[in-house]
Structure 1
Amino acid sequence: MKNSFILFIFLIAFTSYSAQNENYLKEKSLILKNKYETLKKFSEIANIIDSDSESYWAYKYADSTLTTIDKSGKNYYKDLTKIYSAYSHIFYGMSYTRTVMSISRGGDYSLEELNKTIIKPFNKTVDLPNLSETELKSIYSIINFYKVSRMQRYNNMNDLFKKNILKNESIFKNASKEQAYKIASFNNKKLFFMIFAGLIIDIYTLNNKGVDDTIYNNYMQNILKLGEKMDEIPSDNTKIMNLKESEYYLYLLKSSEVQKSMLKLLINEINVLQKRN
């Protein structure tokens, strides 16, 4: 009788544990889908910005990398590196001709520097500090696009990026890898929002010169609403470390939904740019 009772308790505990893991797997799957679906569409229209043969190679690489993602969430960390790799290749492709032009003008830039923005997916076990750093590198590929495009916002973006690097380095020195990764992950998502919002606004402004103030303000309000969703994600390190796992993944899911919405806005503006030209 005693052994049956112990077995019964074990089965309940195991079922609860499995259900809990399934919940996290569900969140991971949804996060990957949010990142994958719109990013794949982005890879298909990036040629509007740069259609060099080298650029097409980069877009094709990004597309083929995305198709290998297991959207079940079972290989979550490795698949995240595929997302980051796709971002870096797309922005590499969008930056290529601008880089060549910058070099021809005698600019302080090189193809070697551009090549360094490319990220390859991880094939081995993913180390959390490296995963965080890889996410940051994917964000830098966006900033690099600003650099080679000689856009005014570059310096501000680069300053934000450098501050985020220092912040994350300090976190990984003073907390466990698991806790530090959670904090750094939220920091990176907020940085992504700020960088991407700037990119969207700049292209929208280019597409809508002389637009009525009301229309312009309404568009900005849409981006502000996305920013308000990002503000719901904790910034306080102690609060983040005390989050339940379920809460942590729900916040990550929220940020992935925001990123999906922002990428849709960018895709729309790039399509408008094509019609204008």
Structure 2
Amino acid sequence: MFVDSHCHLDRLELDKLGMTLPDVIAAAQAKQVEHMLCVCVSLAEFAQMSQLVAAYPQVSVSCGEHPLHQQDVVDAELLLQQCSLPQVVAVGETGLDYFYAPEAKLSQQAAFVSHIQVANQLNKPLIIHTRDAREDTLALMRSHQADKAGGVLHCFTESLDMAKAALDLGFYISISGIMTFRNADELRDVVKQIPLSRLLIETDSPYLAPVPFRGKTNQPAYVTAVAEAIAQVKGISLEQLAQATTENFYTLFNRVKKEVNG
């Protein structure tokens, strides 16, 4: 069985897929995807996102504000209030993105710190987005003790050195469909060296559909294509990869209801 550790079910354009949300979840289950983590990108959208998936026990939710979706200042009090809700299993996604918004470095950094503090206060893991901000991401993780809460660097596309630094802080590394892209040789080399015990798999749907679904709207069912690519690169069976990444998911996101885990 597989787990999609990072998707955005509320952002699926279902009309383009020609599917309903129950169809999407059924398609995932048909591909042995037993659980999905629906990740919040905006505090303003959290209530609607949470309500959308509330009827599905195979879907958990996080709460946070993506660095590219945040207003100038993130409401730390609202963040704490929403992340405290029992259905929230993780804080984020949060982090730094200097590729698309270098002019917002200071506000991104302040928001990231707020998320780390909330995660530590609630003992809920962090979901971290980082792009073109390696040094600052790691510096803030270290200086604000993100290792207390732990978490994951999602949709990882950074260097082996950054992966090692995150691993040293007790974090997991999550791999998306990007590693199936033709120009992702460097990432595939990094994936080879990440311990199986610290890997997660994700779609980041509706974005970044893996080969052979490039150009289509991504969905959780496609996480199996990511798993197949990783298993091939690491020279292990798909079953080994599935078992390890599923166990890793439930270890990290330990608030996911046990009855959902079989």
- TM-score norm. by structure 2 comes to 0.28
| Greater share of residues in strand | 2
- TM-score norm. by structure 1 comes to 0.27
| Greater share of residues in helix | 1
